[in-house]
Chains A and B, each alone.
Chain A
Amino acid sequence: MKVTWKKHGATLRLRFSGELDHHSAADVRREIDGLLSDTAIGFIVFDLGGVTFMDSSGIGVILGRYRMIAARGGGMDIINASRQIERILRMAGVYTLCTQGGTVE
């Protein structure tokens, strides 16, 4: 699993590629939390377009980061999830927390 990122003003855009499971979650979490130490960031866009596999470990990663950004009054969006991943995220109600309701670009 690889995460590349770009900052546009207060928005941090994270593009994931590869498999997001319990094994890869720890590294991903560490990497994103490092980026979130920049307190100017108030919005996260999770671009899941390159994710080839995700199980419920991914829900934990996204919700954990959402809690951090929500605690500073920010928000998130999730884009480009495959149907399978979208189904998992919907089961956990994750899209209801998204500003745009989870858009596909």
Chain B
Amino acid sequence: MKNRLVVSFPSISINESLARGITASFIMPLDPTVEELSDLRTAVSEAVTNAIIHGYGRTDGIVSMELEYDGCDVTVTVRDEGRGIENIELARKPFYTSMPDSERSGMGFSVMEAFTDGVDVQSALGQGTSVVLRKRIGNHECSL
């Protein structure tokens, strides 16, 4: 079975939990395990938080999220049209943070990588960033 959902919301932090809730609801028909659900919710939370904090910072913008599944394969794309990332390789390094004074741990991308099967990042300075999270939900039911 295939399904798709596109949502967008303003870059305010209350929407971090909204994004997690939407993700959980969307993949529920795939009958994920508690761990799979929790993994994807966590990865989405990191990507959306990055869009809000780093993409837009003090400016307001729109974060969009595109959720898809094709059988057991789930893809969540989180996009912002904010600042963009200057050096993606550096940004993905564990403990690297562009905001050392804000108690950000620098573990966002590492958590996304650990909790999904693949993370792709595309970014252009001044144009925005898109993060694609891929995760295979293991239950055989979803392959029907």
Binding site for B on A (CB under 8 A): 19, 21-23, 25, 29, 53, 55-57, 59-61, 63-64, 83-84, 87-88, 91-92
Contact = CB atoms under 8 A, between A and B. Distances in A.
Contacts of A92: 94-95, 105, 107
30 contacts: A19-B17, A21-B16, A21-B49, A22-B49, A22-B52, A22-B53, A25-B103, A53-B20, A53-B38, A53-B41, A53-B42, A55-B42, A55-B46, A55-B49, A55-B111, A56-B104, A56-B110, A57-B49, A60-B104, A60-B105, A63-B105, A64-B103, A84-B35, A88-B107, A88-B111, A91-B107, A91-B111, A91-B114, A92-B94, A92-B95
A60 B45 CA distance: 15
Tell me the interface secondary structure of chain A in the complex: helix
Given A55-B42, A55-B111, 12 more contacts: A21-B13, A21-B16, A21-B49, A23-B16, A53-B20, A55-B46, A55-B49, A56-B108, A60-B104, A83-B35, A84-B42, A88-B42
A91 B39 CA distance: 14
A61 B41 CA distance: 20
Contacts of B17: 19, 21, 23, 53
Closest 10 CB pairs of A and B: A23-B13, A59-B105, A60-B103, A56-B107, A64-B103, A55-B45, A22-B49, A60-B105, A84-B38, A56-B105
Interface of B: 13-14, 16-17, 20, 35, 38-39, 41-42, 45-46, 49, 52-53, 94-95, 102-105, 107-108, 110-111, 114
Tell me the interface secondary structure of chain B in the complex: helix
A61 B105 CA distance: 9
Contact of B13 (A22, A59, A60, A83): A22
Task: Identify which of A57, A61, A63, A83 gathers the most chain B CB atoms within 10 Å of its CB.
Answer: A57
Contacts of B52: 22
A21 B104 CA distance: 11
B135 to A, nearest CB: 14
A23 B14 contact: yes
Contacts of A83: 35
Contacts of A21: 13, 16-17, 45, 49
Contacts of B95: 92
Contacts of B105: 56-57, 59-60, 63, 92
